[in-house]
Amino acid sequence: MATIRWGMIGCGEVADTKSGPALYRAADSALAAVADRNPSRAESFARRHDVGRWHDDADAVIGAKDIDAVYVATRTDSHCDYVLRCAAAGKAVLVEKPMAMTYAECLRMRDACGAAGVPLWVAFYRRALPRFVKLRELVQGGAIGAVRMAMCRHFHAIPAAEERAGPFWGWRLDPKRSGGGIFFEAVGHTLDVLDYVLGPIESARAYADNQAGAYPAEDVVTVAWRFASGAYGSGAWCFATDVDDESNEVVGAAGRIRWSTFPPLAKPAGRPPEPIRVLRAGTVLELPIADPPYVHQPLVQTIVDEMNGRGRCPSTAESAMRTMQLIEDCLAEFNGRRQR
């Protein structure tokens, strides 16, 4: 099989600890070059990860003849521009989530890649993680019978003031750079898992607001939805509470399955994810499934395999666009008020 040669744009924390190593650890995959607008950060990443060359200009990666695919690991407000430039250069693209700032940008990205005849994938990497593959197998295999409902809840304390001004939260809580707040930036993972496991959500009714005033983006969202399958569900997210707590439940005619999208935030760091719990007839079956060291690696492997004619990546532009449309619908009224 051919070795897929990657170029990466953006050398921040996520690329450093989660996704970058996946590009050279996956089978038949190599990371040939990286770029970052901060040249010292690009050089540091290249030296620490033994990457052949580094640049401070993204076009040096996009236009390189020895690059087969480009991973865009930059801030959300730059995704559309970089994907359009990759499409114009005829390069396959993996772009970070959220896919873009708006659904309209997603359409431009999809259409540009389609017109150029290059694939576009989105880094909703949970679609390839073993624990979510197992969750899908359980639900779709009838472990709890016909699905009736899916319920989600996620509470999070307000980051401290110094954290809100820091490199991690600073841009993520600024709608002008991230597109929204924690719901926009992080909850998309949960909504995408629901799409992967239960199929598309065809309609939703939502309320969103900013209750605490610590930052301009949404900090509370409640949603009721209906899946195309006929199942129903609800979600409640509040990021201005006194606790960090997150859980999800799929309710079927013959049982329930509980699971968490995110690893526990509590110390010690690196704790494994909560087990999948299958509740049937008064019994609880726990399925502890650990994540791999580099959580993007299973998804990257599906992309490399697809490029080599072996299977398909489960996280496509189309699936990511459904999640973006849902997020945009949930925040439409709030964003309309905020922008007036």
pLDDT at 270: 60
3-state secondary structure the chain: CCCEEEEEECCCHHHHHHHHHHHHHCCCEEEEEEECCCHHHHHHHHHHCCCCEEECCHHHHHCCCCCCEEEECCCHHHHHHHHHHHHHCCCEEEECCCCCCCHHHHHHHHHHHHHHCCCEEECCHHHHCHHHHHHHHHHHCCCCCCEEEEEEEEEEECCCHHHHCCCCHHHHCCHHHHCCCHHHHHHHHHHHHHHHHHCCEEEEEEEEECCCCCCCCCCEEEEEEEECCCCEEEEEEEEEECCCEEEEEEEECCEEEEECCCCCCCCCCCCCCCCEEEEECCEEEEECCCCCCCCCHHHHHHHHHHHCCCCCCCCEHHHHHHHHHHHHHHHHHHHHHHHC
Per-residue pLDDT of the chain (340 residues; tens, 9 = 90+): 799 999 999 999 889 989 999 999 999 999 999 999 999 999 999 999 999 999 999 999 999 999 999 999 999 999 999 999 999 999 999 999 999 999 999 999 999 999 999 999 999 999 999 999 999 999 999 999 999 999 999 999 999 999 998 988 989 999 999 999 999 999 999 999 999 999 999 999 999 999 999 999 999 999 999 999 999 999 999 999 998 999 999 999 999 999 999 987 654 556 688 999 999 999 999 999 999 999 999 999 999 999 999 999 999 999 999 999 999 999 999 998 877 6
The CATH class, in words, for 4-124 is alpha beta
Q: Which CATH number fits domain 130-291+323-339: 3.40.50.720, 3.30.70.2740, 3.30.360.10, 3.40.50.11720?
A: 3.30.360.10
Say if strands 276-280 and 283-287 run parallel, antiparallel, or are unpaired. antiparallel
Please state the pTM of the whole predicted model. Answer: 0.95
pLDDT at 269: 55
pLDDT at 267: 47
Asked, as a colleague might, if the bond just before 268 is cis with ω within 30 of 0, I would say yes
pLDDT at 1: 75
Q: So where are the chain's domains? A: 4-124, 130-291+323-339
pLDDT at 182: 94
Asked, as a colleague might, if the bond just before 200 is cis with ω within 30 of 0, I would say no
Side chain identity at 179, as an amino acid letter? Answer: G
pLDDT at 336: 87
d(CA 14, CA 231) in angstroms, rounded, equals 35
pLDDT at 265: 60
pLDDT at 86: 98
Strands across the sheet with 53-55, in order? 53-55, 29-35, 4-9, 69-72, 92-95, 120-122
pLDDT at 195: 98
